[in-house]
Chain A
Amino acid sequence: MARRRRPSRAVGTLNGPSALGLGVALIWFSLLVLIPLAAVVSTAAAGGWDNFVTTLTNDQTQAAIRLTVVQSLLVTAVNVVMGTTIAWVLVRDRFWGRGALNVVIDIPFALPTIVAGLVLLALYGKQSPLGVDFANTETAVFLALAFVTLPFVVRTVQPVLEELELDVEEAAASLGASRLTTFRRVILPSLVPAIAAGAALSFARGISEYGSLVLLSGNLPFRTEVASVRVLTYIENGNPAAASAVATVMLVVALLVIVLLDVIQRRVSRRG
């Protein structure tokens, strides 16, 4: 399996067509992603430090950011526990309907976010057959985030768990470790990078979520308004500087998550 790959310079240096391809691709990437994102940061900066401070110390904005961060952390914590458990059950247990569960995990990825909100309203809104009504509450924000971030931890942990070699566990057992000790000392450490990667993705998604919250949370200021909605409100009120200030904070969080993921991945690949 571990075959040696030789460096192949004659094929690997940029020649006419590939240099052209790189040029065109980079121009498009700049026009689509880099320049617009730079515009956000630059607009926030152009408003000056005052704009930044005023926007971020605004009570309503602070409430929105606090709600977003707290709910994202909460959802990430739930995902770490539930996601790992789900992955474990999917990989290690055998029962009727396991295949269907595997498909259910992908539904939140496949569904348009606005539809996700609608879906949750059906069970947790006014006409809930459960007799609850979480619409326009903080619980609704939590539910929406839990729904859209469900697959992250499951799908990062699952493959690692599948590749985990059973003889390591057998070795631990033969050395006298109980199942719990084996899980804590042998299995969990090898899952940690995957769990961390999944958690980072799920936190980043939680911070940036918008579509699934629109119908479900009601966007009530100080109660269910999240950061994305705040940005949208600033845009609609014709205050791009303030919108950019909040957006920049969100971009920085996203960037930190990407760096964190990169670090985790490199640590894993070094461990080999």
Chain B
Amino acid sequence: MARSSRVREPLWVRLILRTVVVTYLVLLVAWPVALVVLNTFQDGFVHMAEALADPVVQNALRLTAVVAVSAVVINLLFGVTISLLLVRYEFPGKRALSAMIDVPLSVSPVVVGLALLLVYGSRTGWFGPALADAGIQMVFATPAMVMATAFVALPLVIREVVPVLEEVGDEQEQAARSLGAGGAQTFWRITLPSIKWAVVYGVVLSLARSLGEFGAVKVVSGNIVGRTQTATLVVEQKYQNFEQTTAYSVAFLLAFASVVCIVVVSILRPKEES
């Protein structure tokens, strides 16, 4: 990228802007994050080992994995289906659906929790009592936690896949059809390979978001220690119980998992082809 010097800012302007930006980012993000990492490992891996030996923590990590993976699988199936429908098909109400898909991104997690509680609460919810009679416990149990997590991460796969589907166009699919491929064959052999990276990226973003969900899960889980407590809830509880080192360790694990997900994919993802 050769930049013409005539339209470049003078050095002093650039130095000032650079300093302002670096200072802001260091104070707001880099330094605090570094401190948490340092706090976690101030005595080596001792605190981490202690935290991992705690049965409450072990349970929470296991539950977090179950809830996050379930929500991601649901969002993957739903997201790819909706993306295909939105890009490749015409149907009434498409514009409205496409706008509604983004709603979960701007709804407060607490409101998400409240909304699910009002419908699936086992005593006063709209559907809750009927489901409870059928022996299905939604709220204060895993199903509602999966739903809450799926809700907040809902648009992430779609937002990755839709632009790629639009960019790829449907000519390759038409070519496959003209060569004798049916609908399913076209999807598995042509469509899916061409949106592969968008799907992977969407899944990883969803996973990172799902592992870290806090507010919505807090409302619908009941926060029952050892039963419906996920890793983020453990962080809150341990911190407030003055078990700060455990809180830091679990927080670090969560942050590490999320960051690793994103870094790995940005490395794996092939650079934009021309």
Contacts and interface: CB of A to CB of B under 8 A. Distances in A.
Contacts of A229: 110
Contacts of A173: 6-7
Interface stretch (B44-52, B54-62, B115-123, B194-202): B115-123
A262 to B, nearest CB: 6
Give the size category of A's interface with B. 35 or more
Interface residues of B, number: 91
22 contacts: A11-B88, A12-B90, A15-B183, A33-B100, A33-B104, A35-B119, A86-B24, A89-B18, A107-B259, A114-B212, A114-B232, A115-B254, A123-B32, A143-B28, A147-B29, A166-B3, A231-B110, A235-B219, A240-B114, A244-B118, A257-B106, A258-B103
Interface in B82-132: 82, 84-85, 88-91, 97, 99-100, 102-104, 106-120, 124, 126
Given A5-B169, A112-B258, A114-B232, A208 B106 contact: yes
A272 interface: no
Nearest to B26: A104
Interface string B171-191: 001100100000110000000
Interface of B: 3-4, 6-9, 14, 17-18, 20-22, 24-25, 27-33, 35-36, 39, 74, 78, 81-82, 84-85, 88-91, 97, 99-100, 102-104, 106-120, 124, 126, 147, 150-151, 154, 169-170, 173-174, 177, 183-184, 208, 211-215, 218-219, 232, 235-236, 239-240, 247-248, 251, 254-255, 258-259, 261-263
Interface string A89-112: 100110101000101111110111
A36 interface: yes
A120 interface: yes
Given A36-B118, A89-B18, A112-B258, A22 B232 contact: no
A217 interface: no
Nearest to A93: B14
B232 A40 contact: no
Contact of A113 (B18, B28, B29, B212): B212
Interface of A is mostly: helix
A39 interface: yes
A182 interface: yes
Contacts of B211: 112
Interface of B is mostly: helix
B126 to A, nearest CB: 6
A32 interface: yes
Which of B112, B151, B169, B261 has the most A CB atoms < 10 Å from its CB? B112
Given A88-B17, A208-B109, A209-B108, A114 B81 contact: no
A17 B7 CA distance: 56
